[in-house]
Amino acid sequence: MTSSNTPRTPHTPHTPNPPASVATSPTLSTTEITTPRLRLRKAHDADRAGLIELQTDPQVRLHLGGPRPRSAVEQHFEAMGVAHVTDEPRTFVIADRTTDDLAGVLLIHRRPADLPGHVTEEGGELELTYVLRRAAWGTGLAFEAATAALRAAASELPDQPVLIVTQTANTRSLDLSARLGFRRVSTFEAYEAEQTLAVAGLHSFLA
């Protein structure tokens, strides 16, 4: 799993064929992606228990700043509703294609330029972020979901760098990034832990 709120290193290695300004490039607009086992879709009310679990499970949150208080998470969803989780087109619930049960959440978003850790001078690169419920670990679902989302982005967007950032201690996530074809480019300290930045070219995910 990766975290979208983790600072990045200022190291800026070369990446193939970056666009003139990725910071002003569009983001993924499709709202649903299917795979043999999964459907990446918008959130709905039946996802509430799974979304709460993602925020409160100590193992799921081990490399994401720790679990959040259940009462606070429940109050948040009561106030905001569940659908807001995927208001942005680039944010998806990862659901079982047969049962429609929530397995996790995935985002392909823009890394804010005012945070360190970019591979272009202007920043704003695409970044892949995901988190899965413990029951989905070790099943290959993260790889399946990430591959499908990246292929969708590659078919829709111009070639550009894509980032993954995760705590170096999160070997499961680092192994997945390598399987996806991401190249580790640097490590750095943030939130009292070493972080690893990895990058891939979007074109490499074209089917």
Backbone angles phi, psi at 72, to 5 degrees: -70, -40
* Residues 191-200, mean pLDDT to the nearest whole number: 91
Least confident of 15-19, 106-110, 137-141, 191-195: 15-19
Cα–Cα distance, 198 to 49 (Å, whole number) = 32
37/21: higher pLDDT: 37
Contact 125, 201 (CB under 8 A): no
pTM for the model stands at 0.86
